[in-house]
Amino acid sequence: MKISDIFKTKKPVFSLEIFPPKKNQGNIEQIYTTLDGLKDIRPDFISVTYGAGGNLADSSTADICRIIKDKYNITPLAHLTCVNNSKEDISSILKMLEEYGIENILALRGDINPDIEPKKDFRYASELVSYIKQSGNFGVSGACYPEGHIQSASLVDDILNVKKKIDAGAEHLVSQLFFDNKFFYNFREKAEIAGINVPIEAGIMPVVNKNQIERMVSMCGASLPPKFTKMCSRFADNPEALREAGIAYAIDQIIDLISNDVDGIHLYTMNNPYVAKKIFDAIETMR
């Protein structure tokens, strides 16, 4: 099922993100543990990351998407990055996804790895969106950044770049994580003014541990509101308490977003079914 069609019949949409095991940390079979823990949530779709940190990816993203579709009967969304892929590489991946029956792709530029020379065929995600739309009958999603991409000159410039993705054929946006909903509402208002009229999902990442969240924030540039930093400081030496406080913080964010008519919630699970289930149980009646 195309993700754009899901938004035509349901609001808010509730989706999850998982990632393949790293090559040096086990094999793809480990993903069953994660998916078995998430299956009862019955999300509207599950996205699967690709080559995190700019690393060259193998077929694990496509393989996991096929498992999600065939074993769990849940719509998958395959991440696809272009910074380290040529047109020939992308065409091969698209052929594989088509053979697996994967209909939805999240088109991303990808993180630049200083140790890997970028390919030259695609400079921006909008170019990848256009290439995918020309190459098959895929539903294409794009990323957006409520506080602006870390490499953008301004939020306005970043929104104009997002508009290029929409003009190229992207039908749905997933936002980068944020911890202060005012940034999402501000972005949504400016996006509407810019003529972006596709569903925008709010990306929410629950705190699992302090080191992890600091690493993610350094990568994406998300602001930390005083309430959030006080929580992290208060429970920094108590991992279990920090986890529960982080879950509560994410639930508060989601309730506020749903109250303000958000199109959907995309939960960055970090492959942690316990956290995802706790959040789902808290907001189930609001879905």
Which positions are annotated as active-site residues? 17
DSSP class of residue 124?
Answer: S
* Rounded Cα gap, residues 151 and 190, in angstroms: 19
Indicate the residue type of 95: K
Q: Contact at 8 Å (CB) between 127 and 82? A: yes
B/e letters for 269-287, b = 16+ CB within 10 Å, e = fewer, are bbbbbebbebbbebbeeee
Q: Are strands 200-204 and 13-18 parallel, antiparallel or unpaired?
A: unpaired
Helix (H, G, I), strand (E, B) or coil at 273: helix
C-alpha distance from residue 221 to each of 33, 150, 214, 243, 267 (Å): 31, 6, 10, 22, 18
Residues whose CB falls within 8 Å of the CB of residue 217, separated by 6 or more in sequence, listed in order: 224
Helix (H, G, I), strand (E, B) or coil at 167: helix
What count of residues does the chain have?
Answer: 287
